[in-house]
Chains A and B, each alone.
Chain A
Amino acid sequence: MNAWTSLFSALFIVIALVLISWLGVGVAGTSLFGIVIPYIAIAIFLLGVVARIVQWARVPVPFRIPTTCGQGKSLPWIKADNLESPYNTWGVIGRMALEVLLFRSLFRNTRAELWPGPNVTYASAKWLWLAGMLFHYGFLIIVLRHLRFFIEPVPSFVEAISSVDGFFQILLPTVFISDAIFLIGATYLFLRRVKIPQLRYISLPADYFPLFLLLGIAISGVLMRNVWKVDLLAVKQLALGLVTFHPAMPEAAIGPIFFVHLFLVSVLLVYLPFSKIMHFGGVFLSPTRNMANVNRMERYVNPWNYPVKVHTYEEYEDDFREKMKEAGIPVEKE
Chain B
Amino acid sequence: MPKPEDLLIDTDLRTMPAKPWMETRANFRDGTYSFPGAPKNLKYLGLANPREWSPTDEDWKLPDNWQEIILKGFKERLEKYRSFRLFMDICVRCGACMDKCHFFIGSGDPKNMPVLRAELMRSVYRNDFTTMGRLLGRLGGARELTIDVLKEWFYYFFQCTECRRCSVFCPYGIDTAEVTMIGRELLNLVGLNINWVIEPAANCFRTGNHLGIPPHGLTDMWEFMVDDIEDLTGVKIDLPVNKKGAEILFVTPSGDYFADPGTYTCMGYMMLFHELGLDYTWSTYASEGGNFGLFTSHEMIKRLNAKIYAEAKRLGVKWIIGGECGHMWRVIHQYMETMNGPADFLEEPVSPITGTKFENAKQTKMVHITEFTSDLIKNGKLKLDPSRNDKFRVTYHDSCNPARAAGLLDEPRYVIENVCNNFFEMPENTIREQTFCCAGGAGLGNDENMEMRMRGGLPRANAVRHVRDKHDVNRLLCMCAIDRATLTAMMHYWAPDVEVGGIHELLANALIMEGENERTLDLRGEPFKEEEESEDV
Contacts and interface: CB of A to CB of B under 8 A. Distances in A.
Given A296-B366, A313-B285, A329-B216, A302 B338 contact: yes
Given A60-B82, A74-B371, A200-B16, 20 more contacts: A1-B20, A59-B79, A59-B82, A62-B338, A67-B164, A67-B168, A72-B406, A106-B171, A118-B5, A120-B458, A132-B171, A202-B95, A202-B110, A274-B132, A279-B90, A282-B90, A283-B90, A296-B361, A313-B311, A329-B216
A255 interface: no
A304 B98 CA distance: 34
20 contacts: A62-B80, A65-B405, A67-B175, A77-B378, A78-B411, A103-B171, A105-B173, A114-B11, A197-B15, A275-B132, A278-B89, A279-B172, A282-B172, A296-B361, A297-B360, A304-B80, A310-B306, A311-B205, A313-B307, A320-B214
Which of B5, B216, B360 has the most CB atoms of chain A within a 10 A radius of its CB? B360
Interface residues of B, number: 125
Contacts of A77: 378
A56 B298 CA distance: 21
Interface string B311-337: 100100000000000000000111101
Interface string A306-329: 001111110010011001101111
B258 interface: no
Contact of B410 (A78, A286, A296): A78
Contacts of B86: 56, 59, 282, 285-287
A244 interface: no
B236 interface: no
Contacts of A246: none
A285 to B, nearest CB: 6
Contact of A61 (B4, B15, B82, B298): B82
A283 B170 CA distance: 11
Contacts of A309: 46, 303
Contact of A67 (B108, B173, B310): B173
B484 interface: no
B241 interface: yes
B307 A204 contact: no
A288 interface: yes
Interface in B422-440: 427, 429-430, 432-434
Across the A-B interface, the 4 shortest Cβ-Cβ residue pairs: A72-B407, A282-B90, A68-B407, A327-B216
A227 interface: no
Given A64-B338, A311-B205, A2 B20 contact: yes
Contacts of A296: 332-333, 337, 360-364, 366
A329 B82 CA distance: 46
A296 B17 CA distance: 46
A69 interface: yes
Interface in A65-83: 65, 67-75, 77-81
Interface residues of A, number: 102
Contact of B409 (A70, A111, A117, A304): A70
A312 B92 contact: no
Interface of A: 1-3, 9, 52, 55-57, 59-65, 67-75, 77-81, 84-85, 99, 103, 105-106, 108-114, 116-120, 122, 128, 132, 196-207, 274-276, 278-279, 282-283, 285-289, 293-302, 304-305, 308-313, 316, 319-320, 323-324, 326-330
B116 interface: yes
Contacts of A205: 139-141
B96 interface: yes
Given A295-B364, A313-B310, A286 B173 contact: yes
A13 B51 CA distance: 50
Nearest to B341: A299
A64 B334 contact: yes
A197 B116 CA distance: 14
A317 B46 CA distance: 21
B345 to A, nearest CB: 14
A319 B298 CA distance: 26
B216 A324 contact: yes
A316 B283 CA distance: 12
Interface in B66-99: 78-83, 85-86, 89-96, 98-99
Interface in B3-58: 4-5, 7-9, 11-17, 20-22, 46
Nearest to B132: A274
A111 B169 CA distance: 11
Given A75-B374, A202-B21, A299-B342, A289 B172 contact: yes
A79 B341 CA distance: 29
A128 B94 contact: yes
A201 B172 contact: no
Given A60-B82, A297-B362, A71 B333 contact: no
B7 A1 contact: no
A290 to B, nearest CB: 8
Contact of B5 (A56, A60, A117, A275): A117
A299 B341 CA distance: 8
A320 B215 contact: yes
B335 A120 contact: no
Nearest to A295: B333
B131 interface: yes
B349 to A, nearest CB: 10
A1 to B, nearest CB: 5
Given A64-B334, A74-B371, A109 B219 contact: no
A198 B13 contact: yes
Nearest to A77: B378
B244 interface: yes
